Amino acid sequence: MKIASFNINGVKARIEALSAWLTSTDTDIVVLQEIKSVDETFPREHFEDMGWRVETHGQKGFNGVAILSRLPLEDITCGLPGDETDEQARYIEATVVGSFAVRVAGLYLPNGNPAPGPKYDYKLAWMERLRARAAELLAAEMPVVMLGDYNIIPEPRDAARPEAWTEDALFLPQSRAAFRAIVNQGWTDAIRIRDPHATRGPFTFWDYQANSWQRDNGIRIDHLLLSPQAADLMVDAGVDRDTRAGEKPSDHVPVWVRLAA
């Protein structure tokens, strides 16, 4: 079972790029972020015609998450627990049923800039809610993959120029500590464990500005966290870096993990 995360930066704007990648990949489940579409106008039929089941949690013009799956989905829930007043569409869960069942939690964590300020307060509060939900998922003692755009640069090696991010909400000490508080519950960072001794990257995001892609001025902010039961099944993980060089690409690229059948 191969599970991927892809911040598509507007599903309608990137429908050709997304479709090309979906056609080329052997991925079974794709979690999308920043679909920037309400549920009713998501191009559902297009992807269903390609053989995908589609579940969305959308929002007009901003945010929005979705799951595309070649496998059956059960127990689909939308919205991160802990704040009934939160109207931002940033979280979706489902159980994927193949030769074994995996709980998939797809997320688009708030950016938090400018910091300090109310947007940063919202980011930290959202991360605390995520930490609580992550603990509940671990308590279920089943394979769980909690993946998406975390908007967190965990370590200096996760940025080409870490000095440029010292005052950014993605790299502030409090942000990184909140991320570690989640990981340290017992989650495995699939991309990092694949190459734990890497001193630079791999990166998953390159800004459209200042020739960031051409200069490889990237950061790693898209992560796949595995519960112990999922980590035991991990065969491989990777970053589809070349997607960034395609026609009208997203500024993110897919990240993926393969679990043993």
What amino acid positions are annotated as catalytic residues? 108, 149, 252
Binding annotation: 7, 34, 149, 151, 251-252
CA 244, 198, 216, 107 dihedral sign is positive
Alpha-carbon gap, residue 72 to 155, rounded angstroms: 36
In three state form, how does the secondary structure of the chain look? Answer: CEEEEEECCCCCCCHHHHHHHHHHCCCCEEEEECCCCCHHHCCHHHHHHCCCEEEEECCCCCCCEEEEECCCEEEEEECCCCCCCCCCCCEEEEEEECCCEEEEEEEECCCCCCCCCHHHHHHHHHHHHHHHHHHHHHHCCCCEEEEEECCCCCCHHHECCHHHHCCCCCCCHHHHHHHHHHHCCCCEEHHHHHCCCCCCCCCCECCCCCCCCCCCCCECCEEEEECHHHHCCEEEEEECHHHHHCCCCCCECCEEEEECC
Binding annotation for Mg(2+): 7, 34, 149, 151, 251-252
Closest CA to 60 of 40, 37, 31, 89: 37
CA distances from 61 to 44, 67, 156 (A): 17, 18, 32
